[in-house]
Every structure is written in structure tokens, then in C-alpha cells.
Amino acid sequence: MKQLLSFLLITFFAVSTLQAQNKDYWQQEVDYTMEIDVDVENHQYAGKQTLVYTNNSPETLDRVYYHLYFNAFQPGSMMDVRSRTIADPDRRVGDRIYHLEEDEIGYQKVKSLTQDGEIVEYTVDGTVLVVELNKPIEPGGTSTFKMEWDAQVPLQIRRSGWNNAEGVEFSMSQWYPKLAEYDVRGWHPNEYVGREFHAPFGNFDVKITIDQDYVLGGTGILQNPNEIGYGYEDEGAKVKRPFGDKMTWHFKAENVIDFFWGADPDFKHVTAQVPNGPKLHFLYQQPAVVEGASEEENAQYTKNWEELVDYTIGAFEYANEHFGVYPYPQFSTIQGGDGGMEYPMGTLITGGRSLGSLVGVTVHEMYHSWYQNVLATNESLYEWMDEGFTSFASSETMAHLFDRDGNPHSGSYRGYRFIVESGKEEPMVTHADHYNTNQAYGIAAYSKGAIFLNQLEYIIGREDFRNGMLKYHKEWKMKHPTDLDFVHLMEKESGMILDWYYEYFVQTTKTIDYGIKAVAGNGNETVIDLEKIGLMPMPLDIVVEYQDGSSEQYYIPLRMMRGEKPMEFDMPRSVLEDWPWVQPEYSFTIDRPVSEIQRVIIDPTERMADIDPENNSFDVPSMLNE
């Protein structure tokens, strides 16, 4: 009883602190019930949708917006024009949309729309549907929208579509009219140019009627496995399917931001169980029929899919421990699409890959179930929190799964230094759709975003960083955290001021470059002169290696971070005077003669994104020989 009471008290305080922190936080809610009937021959379907929208904002809404993503796959669409005019088009898109025939384009044509039973006025503007409400939705109010629409699935170009390069018939993402997100910054009805997504959480009840020889998988738990048969024997299904031309697959998903599915008559369906984790589903073409691959290569691809199962289990176990527990009961890895793309409770990936690449893409997309689908940031605004955090976690997991030594993020640093040198870098605060080049977007989002975390670990220390990542998941899962929410949480975790880090590294393209200017003997002492060449300041880890094989660390905090990281490594450490950012040079003295020193190194862990690592280490004997 006493235990129970203290448990209740702890729970009460934990809940009330959390609420105090987020007292102004709110998020919108959607509940979709959809039924579609697919005409596989013509790649079309007729759809019915009931959408219950709850306005949890403090504002009255007199409009709502939907995305009609399939309309992007038409000659002259914004996505087409963008792809034909950007300096470095995505080669998967190029001018392919421009050349689509009438029966290959995509569309979503709204036939009727009502709000609470009354017909509403709407306009369609490319990929955006604008609805002028008959009756505004008050704060806390709910409205029910009913829509009927016809859709044509585009020939597979980007993410969704029919007949991808590996023979998968239907890669179905962005397939339904989807309500846009309204948050503290207002509506986000971004036109689809092939990039990011941002959507409210909600429940999905989806019925897909399709020819009976198709095997489906996607977001959501299958509600009628015993009717479906093949592949669901362990859930009580009879192997034999019912007679008839078509059958209906019924899926339900709770508290997700999107719903995808894939379908093909040749899908093999394999399941596995993560201990204390979700059930895994794998759906892949068997035999593999990857375009341009030989028979042997296709046979190898099939083998790789078989091996993928155990690696995925290992990845989930690692992720649950290091980045927070996956909250859904299921995850599906489905062959389809045009590379790898994340969706709630699953992913569409291409399968014509080496084992390392197949595991790599699966692990990457899996981590979007942490950074995007569960910690659902607005990825247009914070693309680095989506792709960057995902890249960070997947690189660490791949190093673990394949037993790789060395800095798992070195590729991200190479990419970042490359874009800095090219002069084409753009700040990470750029809206994802609006980067000048795909390359600048890619490196900002994936590489610099991953470095943001690895370098944060350098600044605040390993332990606070790792605890902070777990706390971030715990406090913000099933919500829409922003950049500042994350930075603020890490400030609290580390007890340091970190706004300078965010401002320099995210908001600007200023770079880091520290150097060792001189190491000079002065009797029994040695004086080390450092210089700050780049505009972005950082705290410094300096390691001094002695001729006798020992080494010690000197740590120079940056004054404006108002704190010191704890010792991270098993090595004697001296904390030196803070370095104020305005000061271009800094010197400190070691109580040993220069003749005993072998080498002085700035940041031997190479976590700092110094753009010129050359001047970060200083070999003393070679200096003495000069």
C-alpha cells in the first residue's frame, strides 16, 4: 500500500511536470474511415472517405486544406516544372512527368464533399484542395467531412505508383486526399514538389477491395486475416482463398500520421517477432525480377531478403534500447517505390541491393519511425531533425550490426566538408522545398543534420546526450516537436546554454576551424598557442600525447555555454579557463618540458565539424627537428 502510494505520487508529479512544461502545447486530430475499390487493369480506384477533424487549437478555423498528391504526376505540375528547371534534378524524376501519357498520369478527382452533412464549396489548385467551411470549427470543436473521389495511380516515378523498376505492381503512398496540418504556425498546405510531409495524428480504418491474387501489406493491423489466407496462416488464416474476383483487405492503425500500402500478386510474405517488440512483416517479389539484373543477381537479391529478417530484429532491439521504445505493434518492410521511403509502421524500399545496402536502407527507414513518424516534426521546416537524426541513429546501428570500428558518421562529415568547399551550402533553416539545389538540401538534411547530433554529443558529453535522446523520445512521442523543443530539452539535460550552437550551426553557414599555432618550450613548461580561424566558436577537447606513451586531456569550455561537460574518457583531464567567443587566440601552459611531448591534438574523436582538420594536430618532434 505504501509502495502504491509512493508510486501514485511519483506518477502524479511526473505527469504534472510534463503538463507544466507543455501547458500551451496542442495538436490537431484526424480520424479517417476509407473504402476503395481498385481497378488493377486501369490503375484506377473509386474512394469514399469519412474524416472526423478535431480542432484542438485555440483558433476558430473557417477553412481547411487537403493534399491531393497524385495531381503532381501530370505534365506541367509544379513537381514537373521544378524537376525540369532545378540545376540538379533527381534522376528518378527528370522530365519523366512531362512525358506521361493520359493513362499514366496520376490524379485525385473529388466528386463530392460535405461538412456535417451539408455540401461545401471547394477549389482545387494542383495538389491542394481548399475548402471554405459552411460552419467554422470552434476551438475544441469537431467536424465530419465526407468525400467521394476517383483516382488514377500514376506510373511509378517517385515514391508512389504502379509498375516500379522491380516489377512491384502498386506502391501506394500519398494515395488518398489527406488533410493538411494546422499547428501553432498556422496551416501548411505545401504544394507537393516531391519532397516532405507534415500531418496530424489520427486513427485510420481502411478497406481496400482488390483482385484476389494480390498480396497486400502496409500501415495498420490486418483485421480479417482469416478471410485473406496466404501469408497469414499463423493468425488463423486458411491457406485457400475464397472464390470470387475480388476480396477486401481491412486494416486499422491507431495514432499515426499517414497510411501507405503495397500490393503485388508475386509478393512473398514472411513474418518475425522482435523479442519484447513489434511483429515484423516482410513482403517481397519472389522470384526477384529487378530490371537489368541477371538470373544470379536476382537469386542473390532473394537470399538477401531472407537474411534481412534477423538484421531487422537486431536493429529494433538496438533502437529500443538507445533511442526509445517503438510504440506500435507491427512494422512492415515492403518492396516497392524508388529507393526507400518511410511511412508509419512500415517502409517501401527497392530490393535490388547488396545485403549491406538492403539492411542499410531498411534500418534508415525504420528509424523514421522514431524521427518523423513518432517524433513528428514538420519535416519541411526541420528536415535535419527528420533525415539527420535518422541518419545519425542508422549509422550507429549499422556499425553495431556489422561490427564496424571507427567513426560511424565519417561519411556525413565528408559530405558536409564537400558542400562547404563547393560554396553551395545553404543554412539548415531553409524550407526543404526551397533549397537552390537538391544537393544542398541533401547534405543539409542528411549529413549536417547527423553531424548536429554527433557534435552535440561532443559539446555536452556522451552521457547527457544519450539520456537526452531517450528523454526526447519519451516526452515528445506522438507529438510534433520543433527545433527549439529539442534544443531546450538538451539544455535542461546538460545544464548548459545551447542557443549559440543552434544559432550558428542551424541558422547560418558559418564554419568551425580551430588550429594549433605553436607549441613552445619554456624551461620545464610548455606553452600551447591555439587560434580560432573559423567564425563559429566551440568548446575544445585537447589531448596531449607524451613520448612515454601516456596522454592527458585538456578541456577548454566555451564561456557562453555556461557549463562544463563531465569527463567522457578514462584519461586524466584538466579543465582550463573558459574561452570567450570574441577572442581569436588562446594559450595555456603544461607543466612538462616540450621534449617529453609527442603530439598535441584538438578533438581526437573527430566529432567537431572542423572544416580544416589539418591544423588540428601538431607533431612536436618534427617541429624540434626543423
Of 199, 254, 246, 245, which Cα lies nearest the Cα of 223? 254
- For Zn ion, which is the closer residue by CB, 394 or 526? 394
Segment 553 to 572, residues that bind Zn ion, using CB under 5 A: none
Of 405, 363, 369, which Cα lies nearest the Cα of 386? 369
239 by DSSP, 3-state: which? coil
- For Zn ion, which is the closer residue by CB, 141 or 411? 411
Identity at 437, one-letter amino acid code: T
Q: How far is the CB of 266 from Zn ion (least distance, A)?
A: 27
- For Zn ion, which is the closer residue by CB, 387 or 485? 387
Q: How far is the CB of 360 from Zn ion (least distance, A)?
A: 11
Cβ(373)–Cβ(344) under 8 Å?
A: yes
The span from the CA of 423 to the CA of 592, in Å, is 43
* Binding mask of the shown chain, residues 341 to 380, with x at each position contacting Zn ion by CB under 5 A: ----------------------------------------
Segment 501 to 560, residues that bind Zn ion, using CB under 5 A: none
The span from the CA of 316 to the CA of 564, in Å, is 33
Segment 160 to 199, residues that bind Zn ion, using CB under 5 A: none
# residues near Zn ion by CB under 5 A? 2
* Binding mask of the shown chain, residues 591 to 620, with x at each position contacting Zn ion by CB under 5 A: ------------------------------
- For Zn ion, which is the closer residue by CB, 363 or 538? 363
Q: Residue 28, CB half-sphere, CA atoms under 13 Å: how many?
A: 29
- For Zn ion, which is the closer residue by CB, 415 or 563? 415
Q: How far is the CB of 86 from Zn ion (least distance, A)?
A: 20
Cβ(408)–Cβ(395) under 8 Å?
A: yes
Q: How far is the CB of 563 from Zn ion (least distance, A)?
A: 33
Q: Give the CB-nearest residue to Zn ion.
A: 387
The span from the CA of 410 to the CA of 415, in Å, is 9
Q: How far is the CB of 400 from Zn ion (least distance, A)?
A: 19
Q: Which three cell numbers stand for residue 579?
A: 574561452
- For Zn ion, which is the closer residue by CB, 32 or 452? 452
Q: How far is the CB of 315 from Zn ion (least distance, A)?
A: 15
The span from the CA of 420 to the CA of 534, in Å, is 12
Q: What is the DSSP letter of 166?
A: T
Q: What is the DSSP letter of 97?
A: T
The span from the CA of 334 to the CA of 264, in Å, is 10
Q: How far is the CB of 247 from Zn ion (least distance, A)?
A: 33
Judged on CB neighbours under 10 Å (0-12, 13-18, 19+), 102 is: exposed
- For Zn ion, which is the closer residue by CB, 105 or 451? 451
Of 72, 70, 74, which Cα lies nearest the Cα of 101? 74
For the stretch 555-583, what's the b/e string if a residue is b when 16 or more beta carbons lie within 10 angstroms of its beta carbon?
bbbbbbbebbbeebeeeeeeeeebbebee
Q: How far is the CB of 543 from Zn ion (least distance, A)?
A: 35
The span from the CA of 105 to the CA of 97, in Å, is 8
Segment 227 to 256, residues that bind Zn ion, using CB under 5 A: none
Residue 532's DSSP bridge partners are: 514
Judged on CB neighbours under 10 Å (0-12, 13-18, 19+), 74 is: buried
Helix intervals (H) in 535-591 = none
Q: How far is the CB of 366 from Zn ion (least distance, A)?
A: 10
Q: How far is the CB of 137 from Zn ion (least distance, A)?
A: 33
- For Zn ion, which is the closer residue by CB, 204 or 446? 446
* Binding mask of the shown chain, residues 375 to 404, with x at each position contacting Zn ion by CB under 5 A: ------------x--x--------------
Q: How far is the CB of 341 from Zn ion (least distance, A)?
A: 8
The span from the CA of 559 to the CA of 580, in Å, is 5
- For Zn ion, which is the closer residue by CB, 104 or 387? 387
Sign of the alpha-carbon dihedral angle for 428, 431, 437, 438: positive
Q: How far is the CB of 367 from Zn ion (least distance, A)?
A: 8
**Is residue 94 left, alpha or beta, with left meaning phi > 0 and alpha meaning psi from -120 to 50?**
left
Q: How far is the CB of 387 from Zn ion (least distance, A)?
A: 5
Judged on CB neighbours under 10 Å (0-12, 13-18, 19+), 229 is: middle
Q: How far is the CB of 389 from Zn ion (least distance, A)?
A: 10
- For Zn ion, which is the closer residue by CB, 438 or 553? 438
Q: Which three cell numbers stand for residue 620?
A: 612536436
Cβ(270)–Cβ(281) under 8 Å?
A: yes
The span from the CA of 468 to the CA of 384, in Å, is 17
Q: How far is the CB of 391 from Zn ion (least distance, A)?
A: 7
Cβ(330)–Cβ(277) under 8 Å?
A: no
User: How far is residue 105 CA from its own chain's centroid?
Assistant: 29
Q: How far is the CB of 256 from Zn ion (least distance, A)?
A: 17
The span from the CA of 138 to the CA of 46, in Å, is 32
- For Zn ion, which is the closer residue by CB, 77 or 369? 369
How many Cβ atoms from other residues are within 10 Å of residue 291's Cβ?
Answer: 9
How many Cβ atoms from other residues are within 10 Å of residue 209's Cβ?
Answer: 17
- For Zn ion, which is the closer residue by CB, 394 or 511? 394
- For Zn ion, which is the closer residue by CB, 381 or 608? 381
- For Zn ion, which is the closer residue by CB, 30 or 257? 257
- For Zn ion, which is the closer residue by CB, 433 or 531? 433
- For Zn ion, which is the closer residue by CB, 312 or 390? 390
Residue ranges in contact with Zn ion by CB under 5 A:
387, 390
